[in-house]
Amino acid sequence: MSGDGDTKLTTAATPAASAPPPTFANPAAPVTPPRSFVHRYKTLLIVGLVIVVAIAAGFGLGRLGKNSDKDQDRLVLYGNVDLRQVDLAFNDSERIAEVLVQEGAKVTRGQILARLDTSRLEPESAAAEAVVEAQQSVVEKLHHGSRPQEIAQAAANVASAKADKINAQQQWTRLAALTTLTTGRAISEQDLESAKAALDSAQARLTVAQKSLDLSRIGPRKEDVAQGEAQLRADRSQLELSRRQLADSELVAPCDAIVRSRFLEPGEMVTPQRPVLSLAITDPKWVRAYISETDLGKVRNGMRASIITDSFPGRALSGWVGFIASVAEFTPKSVQTAELRSSLVYEIRVFVQDPQDEMRLGMPATVFLELAPGARSKR
């Protein structure tokens, strides 16, 4: 019995000893996908890349074929609308009386936009005018010379002086003869000297009267006339300055424009350095664009152009190339592409016909320049 029991135990233990030990999954170890799944994934990835490349190539070729003729026919530029601006200021320092326009108002050439207080300028102008009138009379008097009545008066003075001289001459002659006859006893020496002095005085008065008559007949000196005329010119200049200051009290529009800004209000003190209004000149307008050196030979002054803006995409305005810079410059900072920022370009101005005044300062615009056959062949 013992032998049988040992045999059974050995037989039962043998399968347990030959069986492999149990295995447990390691959470840290990577899970290896099946080989068939990896192969399918690589195949799909390669096929997808091939399809993307084929689509991109087809799109590029199609676009090249679509735009090649179009690019050869015209040159497309991008820029912004630009126009001239005027800051208006008064010429004098005075207080503003009134401002007659608001922002956005359309003004015409010669229109009065603002006025200064003229309570002090008007009396100054009136005083200057009176001074000119007075000096004008003086100059006319110098040119006309002495009046006939003045000459006649001078002649009468000469005649009176002659009579006084004759009387004094006769008085002295009688006294001298009487002194000789009486050997000085009838006439004193003092009376004789007084008679002689009276004669000399009468002679002097006659000479003065005669010279006055001569001057009356000759008229004023030419130097006096020139001095009077120079003073008149100076007075007239002062009058013109006063009138100019009075006229400058009105701020006038120099051309047709639109009021962009209104800086000062009535009651404020102005100076020539402080503008009151800013005007935008609506004609001419132009699109400021930049062109590379390779395309510079295709553009010329007077070339016709079409301009389209984002605000009016379906409407093209007519224009022409009016300015091409002769000096290259770096691409403006408004162009944000890194490649273009370091490029040298040339500024051009494409003037625009905008009768409806729809284009605004700084508005982005696209310019189409129709190229000549010779310019297309150079491409």
**CA 33, CA 226: separation in Å to the nearest integer?**
120
Q: What is the pLDDT of residue 263?
A: 95
Q: What is the pLDDT of residue 38?
A: 55
Question: What is the number of helices (H) and of strands (E) in the chain?
Answer: 9, 13
The domains of the chain are located at 73-83+283-377, 127-242
Q: What is the pLDDT of residues 86-113, one digit of tens each?
A: 999 999 899 999 999 999 999 999 999 9
Average pLDDT over residues 8-16: 38
Q: What is the DSSP letter of 326?
A: S
Q: Is 25 left (phi over 0), alpha (psi -120 to 50) or beta?
A: beta
Mean pLDDT of the chain: 79
**CA 89, CA 272: separation in Å to the nearest integer?**
6
Q: What is the pLDDT of residues 36-52, one digit of tens each?
A: 555 666 676 776 676 75
**CA 169, CA 197: separation in Å to the nearest integer?**
10
Pairing type for strands 112-116 and 329-330 reads unpaired
Q: Using an 8 Å Cβ cutoff, are 295 and 134 in contact?
A: no
Q: What is the pLDDT of residues 263-281, one digit of tens each?
A: 999 999 999 999 999 999 9
Q: What is the pLDDT of residue 4?
A: 43
Give the pLDDT band of residue 378 (cuts 50, 70, 90).
very low
Write down the pTM of the prediction.
0.54
In the predicted model, is pLDDT for residue 19 greater than 60?
A: no
Question: Which class for 253: exposed (0-12), middle (13-18), buried (19 or more C-beta within 10 A)?
Answer: buried
In the predicted model, is pLDDT for residue 230 greater than 70?
A: yes
**CA 295, CA 302: separation in Å to the nearest integer?**
16
**CA 379, CA 375: separation in Å to the nearest integer?**
7
**CA 217, CA 206: separation in Å to the nearest integer?**
17
Q: What is the pLDDT of residues 167-187, one digit of tens each?
A: 888 888 888 888 777 776 777
In the predicted model, is pLDDT for residue 34 greater than 70?
A: no
Q: 87 forms bridges with which residues in the sheet?
A: 278
CATH code given to domain 73-83+283-377:
2.40.30.170
Give the pLDDT band of residue 10 (cuts 50, 70, 90).
very low
